[in-house]
Chain A
């Protein structure tokens, strides 16, 4: 008899805990955010100018962070940044550790099965950096060792289009670039704007060049947990308003404008029609 009650009590507690827990998951994320007063966002910490650590105050800052701050302001809550690399983005979102992903998150159909995307706020194409004079045309890629970031579309695209290339995946772009510098890989792949910004900040930039071709057309959006339609609507309306009142252009100017470290003309505005890849 004693054994029976002993077994029943923890079992009942566990069931109660799971039931309460499951019910909690069905509450709307937007309400949770407003109740907690905090919007948790995953952003890069080593990918200037999208997300990086400002050495002056050791806070994470960047283009993605500015957009995230605008969303937090429109919700009336504080912004909390969780540093991430490309490999951990989706995991953070799916396991509920963050509410949104602002990390140069490329929109793909495969990913749409797992997460929802906002309207795109950035456009780019997959490009390559190599030591000067090494990579001149896409055909060479099949014979090279290429560094990529784990969990990025760049990695998947190169693997799909150049099956004979050897791809080494690293946790983040600076790792891949270090591998390029030591000669471990002959080229690395990432979104064009990221590579431009990376090259501008590298101390020995004269030795490297960005190859003059892209192999895709990609759009980046905000990652939203699947099924959170009210949150998604808030994010979309914030982004559209930012474009309408010119703040989106200002944010772009701050990081990619003529006075920035890596100027790039703004070819895509929020709400522009998407080209097919």
Chain B
């Protein structure tokens, strides 16, 4: 094991992997509800809201994530008032009992914002595809029964839409993990950044990149396995006659 990588460098890589997982989890957690809101906005009756949501999706899906991250880190920082920047840059800590939550560094914050905005656009499209995938007859039947639009959405359309959307959603979560590698360009100490760091210091290129690749593939594989398990249990409950 010693010949593969020194323990010091392995520790750096593990730390980077934790940052990757944490960043991806935070981005995915925020992007999912926001994406849902976006999808609902896209189907809104009011033209302005629907068009605005469509414009958001167009802008954030068709520009590279790297450019968006550079914008959030450099551009937004230059545009925000200095007082806000000072607050964002000082370390704040909130202690809840035994847990201390520390405000993240600015690059982590910018990386999280950039990743969330980008992922929201894609997750919104998956939810939209899910909603569109529900048979229109369902909506018509609900209307015939006298259900309001909100009740239709909540009890009839959305449960089915969510089930249709879950596999592509899992795909998007895998993408979040892969996209988090781009935050290295703005200095976030995640796995790709650390692998580069280990490479420049130890010159063990193959080992550094190899270990990082293994970590990424592992994380993706876990999500893939979770999806397969979900599909299997989903099928079994359907076969048993429950919905």
Contacts and interface: CB of A to CB of B under 8 A. Distances in A.
Interface stretch (B145-153, B169-177, B194-202, B221-229): B194-202
B187 A183 contact: no
Given A87-B200, A168-B187, A171-B185, A183 B89 contact: yes
B107 A184 contact: yes
Given A168-B107, A169-B187, A182 B200 contact: no
Interface string A236-274: 000000000000000000000000000000000000000
B106 interface: yes
Interface string B104-138: 01110000000000000000000000000000000
A104 to B, nearest CB: 16
Interface string A160-192: 000000001111000100110111100000000
Given A168-B107, A182-B106, A151 B89 contact: no
A157 interface: no
A150 B89 contact: no
B228 to A, nearest CB: 33
Contacts of B203: 90, 113-114
A229 interface: no
A214 interface: no
A217 interface: no
Contacts of A171: 185
B86 interface: yes
Nearest to B201: A156
B106 A184 contact: yes
Contacts of A156: 201
Q: How big is chain A's contact interface, by range? A: 20 to 34
A183 B203 CA distance: 32
Contact of B86 (A114, A168, A181, A183): A183
Given A114-B203, A169-B187, A179-B187, A184 B197 contact: no
A170 B200 contact: no
B77 A182 contact: yes
Contacts of A178: 74, 77
B85 interface: yes
B159 to A, nearest CB: 45
A169 B184 CA distance: 10
B78 interface: yes
B158 to A, nearest CB: 41
Interface residues of B, number: 20
Interface in B204-239: 205
A99 B107 CA distance: 35
A182 B89 CA distance: 9
A170 B82 CA distance: 22
A168 B183 CA distance: 13
Contacts of A181: 78
Contacts of B197: 150, 169
Nearest to B90: A183
B196 A182 contact: no
Contacts of B187: 168-170, 175, 179
A156 B202 CA distance: 12
Interface in B68-94: 74, 77-78, 82, 85-86, 89
A183 B85 contact: yes
A183 B91 CA distance: 12
Nearest to B109: A184
Nearest to B76: A182
Question: Which of A91, A168, A184 has most chain B Cβ within 10 Å?
Answer: A184
B77 A184 contact: yes
A90 B200 contact: yes
A181 B77 CA distance: 9
B107 A151 contact: no
A151 B193 CA distance: 12
B77 A150 contact: no
Contacts of A90: 200, 203
A87 B196 contact: yes
A114 B185 CA distance: 26
A182 B185 contact: no
Interface of B: 74, 77-78, 82, 85-86, 89, 105-107, 185, 187, 193, 196-197, 199-201, 203, 205
16 contacts: A156-B201, A168-B105, A168-B107, A168-B187, A169-B197, A171-B185, A175-B187, A178-B74, A179-B187, A182-B74, A182-B77, A182-B89, A184-B77, A184-B89, A184-B105, A184-B106
Q: Closest 10 interchain pairs by CB?
A: A182-B77, A151-B200, A184-B106, A183-B89, A168-B187, A114-B203, A183-B85, A170-B187, A178-B74, A182-B85
